[in-house]
Amino acid sequence: MEVIPAIDLLEGKCVRLYQGDYDRSQVFNENPVEVARHWVEQGATRLHLVDLDGAKQGKSVNLNVIELITAAIPIPVQVGGGLRDRSAVANLLNLGVQRAILGTVAVEQPELVTQLAQEFPGQIVVGIDARNGLVATRGWLETSAVAATELAQRMAQQGAAAIIYTDIHRDGTLSGPNLPALRELANAINIPVIASGGVSCLTDLLSLLALEPLGVTGAIVGRAIYTGDVDLKEAVQAVGNGRLQDVPSDFGSSTFA
């Protein structure tokens, strides 16, 4: 299972939101490229970037920063936020981004997912952000009447390469992932699931590792690696080995500076 560091971009800075609330953002670093390099040095094999401005405005806003990050590191990057049409997706992939994450359009324009999955095979991922089991859209500002599991099944049939599942109530809270919801989702589809939201410690990651046989192939970690509650280098090693005893006794003692 991959441990995937998240870099959330707001006004060109690396921030974290609390439960998706733009009014409760915390700036962790004003140089996202520096942050990306740091996570690569700590053993990251993939980065997860979110254009928060883009998600809110419905169009890509932080493309210049995304391009700089992609050019600066040797590992794959996946990006979501504000991708509402073919042009936005194509522009992003042309920058060297490996996978584009579609969210709002999966609910509002599902036929676009099918079209893009055919045009860019293996590069279209659907992000399902759920609030009380229902899919939220437009930067989490609206909640639809579509159930997360139902949407995941539909998107798997339409060619999505993977599903990223985020429990909004847990995102940025360090309260642990929603394991029952992830188990239900993974059991319902036959494509990989990447967990996001709530990871607070190594134990959370090992709990997700237990779901790997069901298809949970990755865990996105945000706030915890910025506060030092999770040490990325040690987490990558521990989850890769799948053994708690591989973790040093001072695990989680370092903080990104």
DSSP type of residue 3:
E
Opening angle at CA 31, ends 29 and 32, nearest 5: 90
Tell me whether residue 8 is one of the annotated catalytic residues.
Answer: yes
DSSP characters for 57-126?
HTS---HHHHHHHHHH-SS-EEEESS--SHHHHHHHHHTT-SEEEE-HHHHH-HHHHHHHHHHSTT-EEE
Identify whether 85 is a catalytic site residue. no
Number of alpha carbons in the 13 Å side-chain half-sphere of residue 225? 30
Catalytic residue among 129, 204, 229, 231: 129
Contacts of 117 (CB under 8 A, 6+ apart): 124, 158, 159, 160, 161
| C-alpha dihedral sign at 99, 11, 138, 199 | positive
Q: How far apart are CA 148 and CA 131, in angstroms?
A: 9
Instruction: Report, as residue numbers or ranges, the catalytic residues.
Output: 8, 129
